[in-house]
């Protein structure tokens, strides 16, 4: 059924997919490293500035005011870092998802081609078995599409929840800073 050229072409496509996914994974790691380097540089700079400010405090009231003024930006930066981290992870994950969907669609097409070829060369009287096989493949494809839709909906819901929690955290931090 499958020729040597078809097998070689399939293996070549699989290798290209693997290298493409590896490249996307490294891009994600690179973005993560860049984010962490920037966050570390900013933290060191802010730590030096905060230390200088703490050393210049003259009384307890000034210390409390300084502490309050340092907490809100820290919370906001933590939320921003988390958001950026989430964006990197979800972007990389989306690339992997697209590749998986493309591979699945290609595999489905190839399998249907094999089934069609087999049905053309099937002996007389096997029409029912071929129809059952095609029906099973169609049902599997529909189930796969349903799962993909459910995963997308769950991902969208998780992102909405993350955004809600992030907004609430920033609001709570601002409210706490105003009370001080």
| Cα–Cα distances in angstroms (integers) from residue 15 to residues 8, 89, 97, in the given order | 11, 24, 17
**37 vs 13, more confident:** 37
pLDDT of 1: 54
Residue with tokens 């599997």: 140
**46 vs 117, more confident:** 46
Sign of CA dihedral 174, 43, 46, 31: negative
**Mean pLDDT, rounded, of the chain:** 81
| Cα–Cα distances in angstroms (integers) from residue 89 to residues 3, 22, 26, 27, 137, in the given order | 40, 15, 12, 11, 33
Q: How many structural domains does the chain have?
A: 1
pLDDT of 97: 81
**171 vs 98, more confident:** 98
Within 10 angstroms of residue 41's Cβ, the number of other Cβ atoms is 10
Residue with tokens 């230390």: 51
Comparing C-alpha atoms, which of 83, 84, 90 is closest to residue 169? 83
Residue with tokens 């009231």: 61
- pTM strictly above 0.75: no
pLDDT of 173: 66
The highest-confidence range among 3-17, 99-113, 144-158, by mean pLDDT, is 3-17
| pLDDT grade for 124, boundaries at 50, 70 and 90 | confident
> Domain limits at 64?
2-176
Comparing C-alpha atoms, which of 28, 151, 21, 2 is closest to residue 85? 28
């Amino acid at each position: 059924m499958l020729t040597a050229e078809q097998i070689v072409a399939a293996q070549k496509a699989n290798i290209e997919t693997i290298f493409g996914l590896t490249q996307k994974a490294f891009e994600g790691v690179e973005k993560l490293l860049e984010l962490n380097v920037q966050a570390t540089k900013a933290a060191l700079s802010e730590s030096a500035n905060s230390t200088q400010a703490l050393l210049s405090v003259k009384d307890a009231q000034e210390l409390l005011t300084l502490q309050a003024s340092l907490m809100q930006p820290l919370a906001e930066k933590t939320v921003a870092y988390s958001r950026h981290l989430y964006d990197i992870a979800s972007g990389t994950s989306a690339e992997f998802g697209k590749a998986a969907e493309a591979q699945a669609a290609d595999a489905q097409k190839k399998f249907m081609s094999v089934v069609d070829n087999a049905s053309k060369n099937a002996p007389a009287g096997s029409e029912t078995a071929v129809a059952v096989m095609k029906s099973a493949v169609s049902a599997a494809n529909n189930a796969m599409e349903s799962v993909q839709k459910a995963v997308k909906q769950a991902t969208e819901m998780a992102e909405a929840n993350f955004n809600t929690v992030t907004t609430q955290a920033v609001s709570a931090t601002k409210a706490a800073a105003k009370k001080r």
